[in-house]
Chain A
Amino acid sequence: MFALDLPTENLLYLVLYLVTLVLHVVAMNYVVGGAMVLAGAAVYRLVGNYCDATRSIVAVIKDWLPLALGVTITLGVAPILFVQMLYKHAFYTANLLLFHRWMAILPVLIVAFYLLYLQKSEWLERRAQVVRAAVAVGVLAMFLFVAWSWSENHLLSLASQQQWTEHYAQGRMWYLTSETFPRLSLWMIGSLATLSVIVAWQLRSQASSTTVHRLALIGLCGAIGSVVAAGWYWLALPGAVRTAIGESANLVVVIVGGLGLAAFVAAWVKMARSGRMEARLLWLATVGLAIAIPCATLLREVRRYVALTEVDHWQPAVAATQESAQFGGFGVFLLFFVANVLVIGWIIRRVSQQVKHAS
């Protein structure tokens, strides 16, 4: 399997990178999927009316989206630390080459963040429907831009020195390859699957059968759409990456991930048929997704390893990471990590008790 020949220290950073990236992806999925649903619903509202189920889904997403964005950003900080530990040269080069284009994600995110607060405000509720649709579509466009930038930056970080040199010499602002759109669509469409499960948990106690149908539709669109996007991406992948994914150990990851997705689909189909949000099935969809997302994240690294292990910078980078692992502080991190997880757990318990009590 890819990466298993790395020194132990590097593997530790890789595991931390993957775990924290998965967390970031889950939160990001809620943000992107939520923005898609809100934009779709707002545009639909220009021509028709919502049913109660759509209204409740839209309301809950609107309400939680600012927090979800805050969490996405905070959970993005950890993988950005570990990505630097592992792939400094490649990551920094892509950042520098995209420069203004790359940095643009920050003002865009600030504006999008405030628009999310605006979107849930009563002030906007009182505006014309077309204004509300414009805000919702604008927010979605901003998140798509940010996601595109991450994919673009990632793909550029995997390009060869010759491609970097050309990019710089021609003063290009964009880095578009045949991989960009299939890759981006895989991330974006897949986010609907995650969204469906999280919103299902949020609305579980009050979900009508129409709500279940709506959420099943969102979830199944996400799952089936991501399979189609993955097929498209497969066609765009460099041959060496396809060969690497075809190797037995990586193939196991594909199969396990596929089984996770199948469980997710089966659970939603059953819930859609019964029109009820059964805890057992919701758990099945959740676990299925909890398997599929890490598998997808792991396979994402295969693409990187095929590209990076061939370049001159790779061995020095591996050695540098291994050396950095000797620097102290791990114990302190572990201590505060555990302590802060416990405290956050306490906050959630205490606040939910009091909220329950009050209601």
Chain B
Amino acid sequence: MKGMVIGGLGIFHVFLAQFAIGGGMLLCYFQWRDNRYGDTLARRFVDGYFRWLVLVSFVTGALTGVAMWFTTIQVSPRTIGMMVDEFHWLWATEWTFFCLEVASGYAFYRYAKVLDGRTRLALLVLYAIAAWMSLFWINGILSWQLTPGGWLDDGSVWSGFFNATFWPSLIYRTLASMAIAALVAAVVVNLAPSFDQEEKLTLVRRVFWFLAPMALMPIIGGWFLAVLPEDSRGWVMGGSIAMTLFFALGAASSLLIGAYAFAMLVKPRLFVNGATAALLCALAFGATAGGEFVREGVRKPYTVRHTLYSNSITEDEVAHFREVGSVTNDPYPLVAPEQYPSDQLGLGAKVFRMQCGICHTIDGANGLVHLAGTWSVDQLRLNIAQLQHTKPFMPPFAGTPEELEALVQLIRWEGEHRPEQWGETSDPAVLEGIAEYMKAAGTQSMVSRPEQ
């Protein structure tokens, strides 16, 4: 469930961050026009648009960035801990660019009016470089989670950073940033009372040139898909309905924006009014949502591929927890344990909290009762014991047969609307059967790395 929150926040943050990156580039272009051709319209645009950039991206963008960090801690401290351990110097490097972004951005914001054209351009170029460099660094860390590549063998930061999906996602995000900045600019231009109709037409046409590189998106997107691990590609290409749908949503939205941009660029008198520009922005948001959902989704069942599962259990720990239990040493009791009529259900609740709660609720969004409610008790035992076969984007069950049975009973009890009486499983044959299922399923994920 927390995973959905981070997903939602992530989409919002990425949209704002990409707006800041593309916005920096767009402003450089217009300032250059002012310097080169004495284009006063371009200069007025720069001054107006920059205020929006500061108000939106410096405030909400910066704080949703911090929020991403905090939310990631909430979702999986172990994942963020591993990322910090591996890449702290690169994160610290990214921070130096945040500082540059703030310094150049605020200097421009406060003093642009009294600066000469060259200094204005220099500040904007520095701002744009700083914003893009923060993308550069974070992109390496995020893409490492999906395709850690050579890092798995040599543990080197650079093998992990310059991984297979690094370049396609960096280029794709750069193109997306340019597109978002152009669309937001079209909205801003339309909203600004200081431009007359002819000026609006001129400006919107100019900013729309920033959408032209979108033509490369299918190629770069194809490159990204081609270097994805086979299983991940499979989810997108029909293996997982949700992921395929989100991928289609992203692709269709981008296509619509691209088609509109093309029409706009070939038809000189076509104008984008405020409502259309806002609609195109909403489509761009949809495309970002689709893209981010796919990026988060294709990593499953891992948060760091071949290393750490989505529920923060490592590949190596699965076999260990099957021996000693996943919650045996959990120091945290249940909140309101009296709600469970038996110790077994309490154990099930702890197992749910440890292994499933990160992505599922019991009875709400992505709820286990709904997903597994129609299974018979034996199906529940079998399907959970071989979880990684049941759904290859789920990690293997990492606990003892007793824990698994407790989880099964919890799902059934919740499915029956929590009756006051609920017997405990006492038949040893049940646990033996579960142990057999688990043994047959093995401890490896379906997408685990072939032995080297």
Q: Of B62, B77, B91, which one neighbours A74 at CB under 8 angstroms?
A: B62
Chain B residue at smallest Cβ distance from A108: B63
Question: Would you call A95 an interface residue if the criterion is a C-beta within 8 Å of the partner chain's C-beta atoms?
Answer: yes
Given A96-B74, A337-B96, A354-B116, residue A347 in contact with residue B157 (CB < 8 A)? no
A103 B119 Cβ-Cβ under 8 A: no
Which residues of B69-99 are within 8 A (CB) of A?
A: 69-71, 73-74, 77, 80-81, 84-93, 95-99
- The complex places the Cα of A340 from the Cα of B85 at a distance, in Å, of 24
- Contacting residues, chain B, for A323 (C-beta < 8 A): 85
- The complex places the Cα of A219 from the Cα of B98 at a distance, in Å, of 31
Mark contacts of A84-122 with chain B using CB atoms, 8 A cut-off: 1 yes-contact digit, 0 otherwise: 110010001001100100110010011001100100000
- Contacting residues, chain B, for A230 (C-beta < 8 A): none
A73 B332 Cβ-Cβ under 8 A: no
Given A106-B67, A328-B157, residue A88 in contact with residue B119 (CB < 8 A)? no
- Contacting residues, chain A, for B110 (C-beta < 8 A): 67
Q: Of A76, A92, A344, A348, which one neighbours B81 at CB under 8 angstroms?
A: A92
Chain A residue at smallest Cβ distance from B105: A70
Given A70-B58, A109-B63, A333-B92, residue A320 in contact with residue B85 (CB < 8 A)? yes
Most buried by B among A114, A339, A347: A347
Question: Would you call A165 an interface residue if the criterion is a C-beta within 8 Å of the partner chain's C-beta atoms?
Answer: yes
- The complex places the Cα of A339 from the Cα of B73 at a distance, in Å, of 31
- The complex places the Cα of A324 from the Cα of B92 at a distance, in Å, of 14
Q: Of B63, B77, B155, which one neighbours A73 at CB under 8 angstroms?
A: B63
Q: Of A75, A106, A168, which one neighbours B63 at CB under 8 angstroms?
A: A106
- Contacting residues, chain A, for B84 (C-beta < 8 A): 81, 84-85, 88, 324
Question: Would you call A355 an interface residue if the criterion is a C-beta within 8 Å of the partner chain's C-beta atoms?
Answer: yes
- The complex places the Cα of A346 from the Cα of B58 at a distance, in Å, of 22
B66 A327 Cβ-Cβ under 8 A: no
A70 B62 Cβ-Cβ under 8 A: yes
Question: Would you call B37 an interface residue if the criterion is a C-beta within 8 Å of the partner chain's C-beta atoms?
Answer: no
Question: Would you call A123 an interface residue if the criterion is a C-beta within 8 Å of the partner chain's C-beta atoms?
Answer: no
Question: Would you call B216 an interface residue if the criterion is a C-beta within 8 Å of the partner chain's C-beta atoms?
Answer: no
Which residues of A301-359 are within 8 A (CB) of B?
A: 320, 323-324, 327-330, 332-333, 336-337, 339-341, 343-344, 347-348, 350-351, 354-355, 358-359
Size of chain A's interface in residues, with CB distance under 8 A? 57
Mark contacts of A154-179 with chain B using CB atoms, 8 A cut-off: 1 yes-contact digit, 0 otherwise: 00000001001100110100000000
Question: Would you call A71 an interface residue if the criterion is a C-beta within 8 Å of the partner chain's C-beta atoms?
Answer: yes
B56 to chain A, nearest CB (A): 10
- Contacting residues, chain A, for B96 (C-beta < 8 A): 333, 336-337, 339-341
- The complex places the Cα of A358 from the Cα of B103 at a distance, in Å, of 20
B354 to chain A, nearest CB (A): 13
B234 to chain A, nearest CB (A): 32
A342 to chain B, nearest CB (A): 10
B6 to chain A, nearest CB (A): 11
- Contacting residues, chain B, for A82 (C-beta < 8 A): 88
A165 B93 Cβ-Cβ under 8 A: no
A78 B115 Cβ-Cβ under 8 A: no
Most buried by B among A76, A82, A324, A355: A324
- Contacting residues, chain B, for A339 (C-beta < 8 A): 96
Question: Would you call B331 an interface residue if the criterion is a C-beta within 8 Å of the partner chain's C-beta atoms?
Answer: yes
A338 to chain B, nearest CB (A): 9
Question: Would you call B126 an interface residue if the criterion is a C-beta within 8 Å of the partner chain's C-beta atoms?
Answer: yes
- The complex places the Cα of A82 from the Cα of B95 at a distance, in Å, of 12
- Contacting residues, chain B, for A60 (C-beta < 8 A): none
Question: Would you call A237 an interface residue if the criterion is a C-beta within 8 Å of the partner chain's C-beta atoms?
Answer: no
A103 B95 Cβ-Cβ under 8 A: no
Question: Would you call A80 an interface residue if the criterion is a C-beta within 8 Å of the partner chain's C-beta atoms?
Answer: yes
B98 A74 Cβ-Cβ under 8 A: yes
B63 A113 Cβ-Cβ under 8 A: yes
- The complex places the Cα of A186 from the Cα of B115 at a distance, in Å, of 42
Q: Of A95, A324, A347, which one neighbours B103 at CB under 8 angstroms?
A: A347
Chain B residue at smallest Cβ distance from A88: B81
A329 B81 Cβ-Cβ under 8 A: no
Question: Would you call A77 an interface residue if the criterion is a C-beta within 8 Å of the partner chain's C-beta atoms?
Answer: yes
A220 to chain B, nearest CB (A): 31
Chain A residue at smallest Cβ distance from B59: A113
Chain B residue at smallest Cβ distance from A320: B85
Question: Would you call B333 an interface residue if the criterion is a C-beta within 8 Å of the partner chain's C-beta atoms?
Answer: yes
A103 B332 Cβ-Cβ under 8 A: no
A184 to chain B, nearest CB (A): 20
A344 B89 Cβ-Cβ under 8 A: no
Given A92-B81, A329-B90, A358-B114, residue A165 in contact with residue B333 (CB < 8 A)? yes
Given A92-B77, A92-B81, A329-B88, residue A351 in contact with residue B119 (CB < 8 A)? yes
- The complex places the Cα of A78 from the Cα of B97 at a distance, in Å, of 12
B90 A332 Cβ-Cβ under 8 A: yes
Question: Would you call B158 an interface residue if the criterion is a C-beta within 8 Å of the partner chain's C-beta atoms?
Answer: yes
- Contacting residues, chain B, for A117 (C-beta < 8 A): 55, 59
Interface residues of A (CB under 8 A from B): 67, 70-71, 73-78, 80-82, 84-85, 88, 92, 95-96, 99, 102-103, 106, 109-110, 113-114, 117, 161, 164-165, 168-169, 171, 320, 323-324, 327-330, 332-333, 336-337, 339-341, 343-344, 347-348, 350-351, 354-355, 358-359
Interface residues of B (CB under 8 A from A): 55, 58-60, 62-64, 66-67, 69-71, 73-74, 77, 80-81, 84-93, 95-100, 102-104, 106-107, 110-111, 114-116, 119, 122-123, 126, 155-158, 331-336
Could you show 24 A-B contacts with beta carbons less than 8 Å apart? A70-B102, A74-B102, A78-B95, A82-B88, A84-B84, A92-B73, A95-B74, A95-B77, A106-B67, A114-B55, A117-B59, A165-B333, A168-B335, A169-B332, A324-B88, A327-B86, A327-B87, A328-B156, A329-B88, A329-B93, A329-B157, A340-B99, A344-B103, A347-B126
Closest 9 CB pairs of A and B: A329-B89, A92-B77, A358-B114, A324-B85, A328-B157, A340-B96, A333-B89, A113-B59, A344-B103
